[in-house]
Structure 1
Amino acid sequence: MPIIKNQRILENTWTFVEDDAPLPAGDITVSAKRWTEDKAALLQHTGKLGVRLAPADNVAALGDDLPVIKLIELNFPAFNDGRTFSQARLLRSRYGYQGEIRAIGNYMTDQVFYLHRVGVDSFEFNNPKDMALALSAIKDFTIRYQASTR
């Protein structure tokens, strides 16, 4: 499925691996729980590593591991849960995370501009038809009153 990354539509090269599934070859993301429990084995994986965070997951728990984590997926189980915005902001501002932060799950294209402002730089959509709207939403406003990570 395609994604938006750096304001372009690209093919997604990452695979999310469920907690009980074997690790495939290539670039993978795992849950925060699996990262914590299987970190030693995951660090032996030959592809790039990423972590998928749920809104209740603690960003601080990844602190020392951030240099080896190349992608953090922020999962929106519902569009009205704002904790994911805070996770993105903390990753960029407090922890200085330089890797890719991707929004996944149930968020609206109207939220893309604000997600981009707090540090999200790629977007995966459940409905590919939303991609064109999201690309334009990143540039919705030209005047900004608040500071941001972008």
Structure 2
Amino acid sequence: MRSISNWVVLLGMTLLAACNAEPESARIDAAQPPELTAQPETGRWYTQQEAQAGRQLFAAHCAVCHGRNAVGTLDWRTPNANGQYPPPPLNGSAHAWHHPYEVLQRVILDGGALMGGTMPAWRGRLDAEDIRQVIAGFQSYWPEQTYQIWLEREQQNR
């Protein structure tokens, strides 16, 4: 009888582990940032179509917290009562442009808790192309000078 109950426990643990396994489609290799070749119509690493698709994804998934046109919340530098920071602007007026592409991607994938924020993880809900487009979308709000500083830093880090 004891061997049957051990078998049932083992089977249950195996099934639970299988249910929690990340599907292949949800895995994203964060070490694969885009090529930094300037596209003719934008002068940036992304095309106009990627930026437009990213703005649409941003409006659908991100704007509720980061604001329309990525303007963020008013007092984003001050922690809430729970000690966590509210959503910052992503339009180039806050600190997002200080981060390499890989960090931006990782925060979208795994959420903002590691950076002191409350942003949920989007892993499994947005795929690699969606995330690429979202980043293109909010970077398209960045002023040219901000983008060029980010690009220079990004090129030095590669």
- Normalization by structure 2: what TM-score? 0.29
More strand by share: 1
- Higher normalized contact order (CA 8 Å, seq sep 6+, divided by chain length): 2
More helix by share: 2
Bigger radius of gyration: 2
